[in-house]
Amino acid sequence: MLTRWALCALLVASALVGCTADTGDPVRLTVLADRELGDLGPLLADLRRDTGVDLVLDLRDSRDVGTGPAPGASGHDLAWVGSEALFRLRAGRGGPVPLSTSTMVSPVVVGLRPAAARRLRAVSARPSWADVADRVAAGELRLAVPDPHRSDVGLTALLGLATAAAGTGQALRAEDVTCDRLAGLRSGQEPTGPDPAAEFAARADRLDGVVDHESALLTLNASGSLDEPLELVYPRDGVVLSDFPLLLLDPGERAAYDRVVAWLLDPAHQQRIMATTARRPVDPAVPREQRLSTDVGTGMFLPESADVLDRLLAAWDEPTTAHVVFVLDFSLSMAGERAAGLRSVFGALSGTGTGGFARFHPGETLTVVRFAGQPLDERTVTVRGQPDLDRLAAAVAPDDFGRNTAIWSAVRQAYARNPTSVVLVTDGENNAGISADDLLAGLPRPAPPLFAVRIGAADPVELRRVAEATGGALVDATGGSLVDAVRGVRGC
Amino acid sequence: MAEEPTLLVVRPRSVLRRKRFTWVLVPAVLVAVVGAITLSTNGGVTAPIPDVVVVEAKMASKEDFFNDAVVRRVLMENGIQVHLTATGSREVATGDLGGYDFVFPSGQPAALLIKQQRKAERRFVKPHKPFFSPVVLGTYRAYADALVEAGVATPQPGVEPPMYYNVNLAGFLGLTRAGKTWQGLGGDAPLGNGNRVLAQTSDVCYSNSAGTYMGMAAFAVNDRRPPADEAEAVALAEEIRPLLTAQGFPGDDMAQAYLAPEGRGLAPVSVFYEHQFLAHQVRTKDLHGGPDSDRVLLYPEDQVQAVPELIALTPNGERVGELVTNDPRLRRRALELGFRVFETDDVSTSGEFGAFLREKRLPMPVSGIGDTETFLPPLDLLEKMIKTVGRC
């Protein structure tokens, strides 16, 4: 009996049409497409020859594609975006869901010049987002990062960074987003437009690396336009993949859409897409090329609601000109272990690869006020590089512990410096200088938040009362790590 | 391969795509047929091609069957070409059935909804149960070992190294609730994965496998009792919701993600159907001579039998139902694609399935399938729970 496949074989042999993608009536479809999909150009002619469908890509920044109007309203027949999840989050869950097919995948990764990669790997053999953020904040890595407002790659990278910073092991929630964790990367990055790999290549002399899709970085490496190829870093704490769905906006074009999708998913064409664009096939059975056989590592969970994205972008936009005043108790009871703890906090935040997301970063102004029965001394630095951070760490080195504890006088001095937030670390009760009420009476309204870190026997009631009156909080370091406590309350 | 996509996904289709195919409209094909018949001297083509009917169908993971080249060929020889619209199982039931000849939702809840609706409208409806496949958790050996170490999984007796494990869902979800991450589980070989211990599912609002997993999770957490009334169902759904939504935005095809070369990092523990795993193992065995020994299955100790029903909505759909249920080649192909085919008594499935696995030298899993009806709450309560968990 003649089979469908015999028929197909014949049709192929006579070069009339393919088997999985039939030529129907010639049709032209307009596609609202993410700019980076311009690299599919060479394939579109063959697609047209095999299926009769002429895809006309209208290339736009991902912002203009992803936040596009409801299906059909843009006037395009199809949309081709980077991320199904981002598209649907923006479209709003519960709204109409266009027919959609993932066509290929690529993770968002960090590409580094070999020397920069060596420096990063000296900190950690398998670097994490925290390690990357830390080195950027330290001014050691100058990284091109696409603007998350304009580019899905940038937004995806930001999601990866923020999810890693939250460290919950689950999808990012709005309440997990804290601007201070993002400020490190933001301060040291070079913002770029929607084609970071190309912009990196143009400015390669003053940059160490770039955040982009694996596909874009491999393509840049293969182009020969760099002196030496970039090394790809797949952050240990997780990567986010883009899945490049093709969406049917005009349901009336279903037949042509079916032909296009069938063609794209055909294993032979999946292979060609891979060879042409360096994106990974969506078909698990298509073997990956050598350059795409790298283990991408752990996949990060994506948030399930759009307000997380809004919150994230808002946090990214927070100014990085923070001025944090640390008010540190140097009364006698702090001598020994507690002072050693304080110094290790400053060591960690000033950066030897252990500060992670919370470390001090360029652009930030930091003041240290040490006090006992009265303010002992005060030092302010604006961070531009490591020497500034070294000076800051030196400010907590002296061993001149004093009698008595004038907490609120020292805090008043801190507020006089016009800070964005105040971090108080104490182990005692106020027994000198002004009272808490005196302080509160003199504060501006609204006052910048005071975060009170309580060590040992310090009175929690009064500390909490003042902290909460300023919109800050009491953090208990009594049983836990002082480093974690201080990291948790930097604010922005 | 697709499992319960959250969105409509279209798979490759063949040349003949009009509702009713007529030769006159496509002269090019006529030329080809003439060519084909001239081949008959050495190709053994003796009969003319019958009139081909294009049958419209909507389904979720069972598209694996209708996308299969062998299945399409056998159907074509019977004058049938199936045009698929792939969607989530619950969407099969809740979406428009107009224009479809048959639907094939992956689970009973969706099938029940459709049958009730069609009967109420006094319209053509004829269900078939050709085969079934349990909902399982696909994982990797190191993850299974870590779960054994953590005391929530046990290897099934039989082959070494084991391909199948039983998992205690109450214990497993207890790890999620405690905020345990995979790298926090300890064991001999740290997993290097900072994600929380959980099983990834497709969207519970659309997918039968995700809905079934939700039902099993609720049963396990609720001391092995389904909720009795709506208040209890909603409270229970709210209780397990954080455990199921910690994964964030759901994937759209968990089997595809799991079976991909990148699956170990992207979908290390994923909920889908046994047939998707077994089809992979049969394929691997045929290609490489041995099974994929790194990928293994976890069977929840209290299993729910996911019996997909092929529901014919027109006489043409009914022809497909008859063929899939009775044609020996299609039954054989179903086994090769990992399904458990029902035997002539319409109840048991172990005979042919077991014989097939023995023939392929693949181990036989023991699934803890018991009395389905006692595990899942009544349909209306299950719906309520799905909507509560998924906010849909």
Q: In what order do the strands lie in the sheet with B53-59?
A: B80-86, B53-59, B102-104, B310-312, B126-128
A-B contacts (CB, under 8 Å): 173
CATH architecture of the domain with range A321-488? 3-Layer(aba) Sandwich (3.40)
Q: Which residue has the higher pLDDT, B72 or A382?
A: B72
Q: Which residue has the higher pLDDT, A324 or B238?
A: B238
- Given a cut of 90, whether residue B284 has pLDDT beyond it is yes
pLDDT averaged over chain B?
A: 82
Q: What is the pLDDT of residue B12?
A: 31
How far apart are alpha carbons A165 and A71 in whole angstroms?
Answer: 35
Contact A356, A134 (CB under 8 A): yes
Distance from CA of B308 to the nearest CA of A (A): 23
Q: What is the pLDDT of residue B362?
A: 92
- Given a cut of 90, whether residue A20 has pLDDT beyond it is no
How far apart are alpha carbons B353 and A352 in whole angstroms?
Answer: 60
Q: Which of A99, A158, A410, A298 is nearest to A166 (CA)?
A: A158
Q: Where are the beta strands (DSSP E) in A207-281?
A: 209-213, 231-233, 241-242, 245-248, 280-281
Q: Per DSSP, what are the bridge partners of residue A32? A: A58, A79
| Exposed/middle/buried for residue B106 (C-beta within 10 Å: 0-12, 13-18, 19+) | buried
DSSP structural state of residue A94:
T
- Given a cut of 90, whether residue B164 has pLDDT beyond it is yes
Q: What is the pLDDT of residue B142?
A: 93
Query: H or E stretch including A106?
Result: strand A104-112
Distance from CA of A423 to the nearest CA of B (A): 29
Q: In B178-273, which residue ranges form alpha helices assigned H by DSSP?
A: 208-221, 230-245, 254-259, 263-266
Radius of gyration of chain A (CA): 28
Q: Would you say the CATH fold of B135-305+367-390 matches that of B23-132+307-359?
A: yes
Contact A372, A403 (CB under 8 A): yes
Q: Under an 8 A CB cutoff, do B10 and A258 touch? A: yes
**Least trusted range by pLDDT, from A215-224, A475-484, B2-11, B117-126:** B2-11
Q: Tokens 């990866």 sit at which residue?
A: A160
Cβ within 8 Å of A, B 241-260:
245-250, 252-253, 256, 259-260
How many Å is the maximal CA-CA distance in chain B?
A: 71
Cβ within 8 Å of B, A 434-453:
none
Please give the CATH superfamily to which domain A107-241+305-316 belongs.
Answer: Periplasmic binding protein-like II (3.40.190.10)
Q: Is A455 on the interface with B (CB under 8 A)?
A: no
Averaged pLDDT for residues A145-159 = 88
Q: Which residue has the higher pLDDT, A273 or B10?
A: A273
DSSP structural state of residue B206:
T
**Least trusted range by pLDDT, from A226-230, A267-271, B155-159:** B155-159
**ipTM metric:** 0.78
How far apart are alpha carbons B63 and B339 in whole angstroms?
Answer: 13
pLDDT averaged over chain A?
A: 83
**Least trusted range by pLDDT, from A83-97, A453-467, B238-252, B272-286:** A83-97
Distance from CA of A287 to the nearest CA of B (A): 8
Averaged pLDDT for residues B165-176 = 95
Q: Is B14 on the interface with A (CB under 8 A)?
A: yes
Q: What is the pLDDT of residue B14?
A: 32
Query: H or E stretch including B114?
Result: helix B108-120
Q: For residue A42, is the peptide bond before it cis, meaning its omega torsion is within 30 degrees of 0?
A: no
Contact A367, A378 (CB under 8 A): yes
How far apart are alpha carbons B70 and B75 in whole angstroms?
Answer: 9
How far apart are alpha carbons A427 and A407 in whole angstroms?
Answer: 10
Contact A7, B32 (CB under 8 A): yes
DSSP structural state of residue B183:
G
Contact A257, A248 (CB under 8 A): yes
In CATH, what number does B23-132+307-359 get?
3.40.190.10
How far apart are alpha carbons B217 and B204 in whole angstroms?
Answer: 13
| Exposed/middle/buried for residue A86 (C-beta within 10 Å: 0-12, 13-18, 19+) | buried
Q: Per DSSP, what are the bridge partners of residue B299? A: B166
Q: What is the pLDDT of residue A487?
A: 62
Among B192, B248, B264, select the one facing A303 at the smallest CB separation.
B248
Q: What is the pLDDT of residue A68?
A: 52
Contact A413, A369 (CB under 8 A): yes
- Given a cut of 80, whether residue A216 has pLDDT beyond it is yes
- What residue spans in chain A does CATH classification 3.40.190.10 cover? 19-103+244-265, 107-241+305-316
| Exposed/middle/buried for residue A196 (C-beta within 10 Å: 0-12, 13-18, 19+) | buried
Q: How confident is the model at residue A19 (pLDDT cuts 50, 70, 90)?
A: very low
Shortest CA distance from B182: residue in chain A: A169
Topology at the third CATH level for domain A19-103+244-265: D-Maltodextrin-Binding Protein; domain 2 (3.40.190)
Q: What is the pLDDT of residue A383?
A: 80
Contact B193, B181 (CB under 8 A): yes
Q: Under an 8 A CB cutoff, do A170 and B247 touch? A: yes
- What residue spans in chain A does CATH classification 3.40.50.410 cover? 321-488
Query: Under 8 Å CB-to-CB from A454, ≥6 apart: which residues?
Result: A426, A427, A460, A463, A474, A475, A476, A477, A478
Query: Under 8 Å CB-to-CB from B98, ≥6 apart: which residues?
Result: none
Token representation of residue B381? 């309560």
| Exposed/middle/buried for residue B189 (C-beta within 10 Å: 0-12, 13-18, 19+) | exposed
Chain A partners of B175 at a C-beta cutoff of 8 Å? none
Among A94, A171, A258, select the one facing B247 at the smallest CB separation.
A171
- 3 state DSSP class of A223: helix
- Given a cut of 60, whether residue B310 has pLDDT beyond it is yes
Q: Is B48 on the interface with A (CB under 8 A)?
A: yes
pLDDT one-digit tens code per residue, B208-237: 889 999 999 999 999 988 898 999 999 999
Handedness of CA A138, A142, A146, A149 (dihedral sign): positive
- 3 state DSSP class of B340: strand
Q: What is the pLDDT of residue B376?
A: 77
Contact B278, B362 (CB under 8 A): yes
DSSP per-residue letters across A193-205:
-S-HHHHHHHTGG
Q: What is the pLDDT of residue A264?
A: 96
Q: How confident is the model at residue A62 (pLDDT cuts 50, 70, 90)?
A: confident
Measured in degrees and rounded to the nearest 5, phi and psi for residue B154 equal -135, 140
Averaged pLDDT for residues B296-313 = 86
How far apart are alpha carbons A5 and A320 in whole angstroms?
Answer: 64
Contact A96, A108 (CB under 8 A): no
**Least trusted range by pLDDT, from A11-25, B44-58, B76-90, B251-265:** A11-25
Token representation of residue B262? 């990148």
Query: Under 8 Å CB-to-CB from B26, ≥6 apart: which residues?
Result: none
Distance from CA of B248 to the nearest CA of A (A): 5
Strands A104-112 and A241-242, bridge-based pairing: antiparallel
Distance from CA of B21 to the nearest CA of A (A): 13
- Give the rounded distance of the alpha carbon of A401 from its chain centre: 42
- Given a cut of 80, whether residue A143 has pLDDT beyond it is yes
Query: Under 8 Å CB-to-CB from B385, ≥6 apart: which residues?
Result: B214, B215, B218, B227, B233, B234, B236, B237, B377
Q: Which of A313, A82, A310 is nearest to A186 (CA)?
A: A313
Q: What is the pLDDT of residue A490?
A: 60
Among B35, B195, B266, select the one facing A241 at the smallest CB separation.
B266
How far apart are alpha carbons A355 and A132 in whole angstroms?
Answer: 11
Q: Under an 8 A CB cutoff, do B11 and A262 touch? A: yes
- 3 state DSSP class of B80: strand
- Given a cut of 70, whether residue A433 has pLDDT beyond it is yes
Q: Percentage of chain A surpassing pLDDT 70? A: 86
> C-alpha dihedral over A164, A168, A172, A173, to 10 degrees?
-140
Shortest CA distance from A1: residue in chain B: B45
pLDDT one-digit tens code per residue, A323-376: 889 999 999 888 888 888 888 888 777 765 445 566 677 777 889 999 998 888
Cβ within 8 Å of A, B 318-347:
none
Contact B232, B85 (CB under 8 A): no
Q: What is the pLDDT of residue B239?
A: 96
Q: What is the pLDDT of residue A190?
A: 75
Domain boundaries, chain B: 23-132+307-359, 135-305+367-390
Q: How confident is the model at residue B45 (pLDDT cuts 50, 70, 90)?
A: very low
Measured in degrees and rounded to the nearest 5, phi and psi for residue B201 equal -130, 165
Token representation of residue B83? 């045009």
Token representation of residue A265? 């998913």
Q: Where are the beta strands (DSSP E) in A234-349?
A: 241-242, 245-248, 280-281, 323-329
Among B77, B181, B260, select the one facing A169 at the smallest CB separation.
B181
Distance from CA of B139 to the nearest CA of A (A): 14
CATH, domain B135-305+367-390, list 3.40.50, 3.30.1460, 2.60.120, 3.40.190 = 3.40.190
DSSP per-residue letters across A11-23:
HHHTTS--SSS--
Q: Which residue has the higher pLDDT, A144 or B4?
A: A144
Q: Which residue has the higher pLDDT, B57 or A391?
A: B57
Q: How confident is the model at residue A114 (pLDDT cuts 50, 70, 90)?
A: very high
Q: Tokens 């205690």 sit at which residue?
A: B168
Q: Per DSSP, what are the bridge partners of residue B311? A: B103, B127
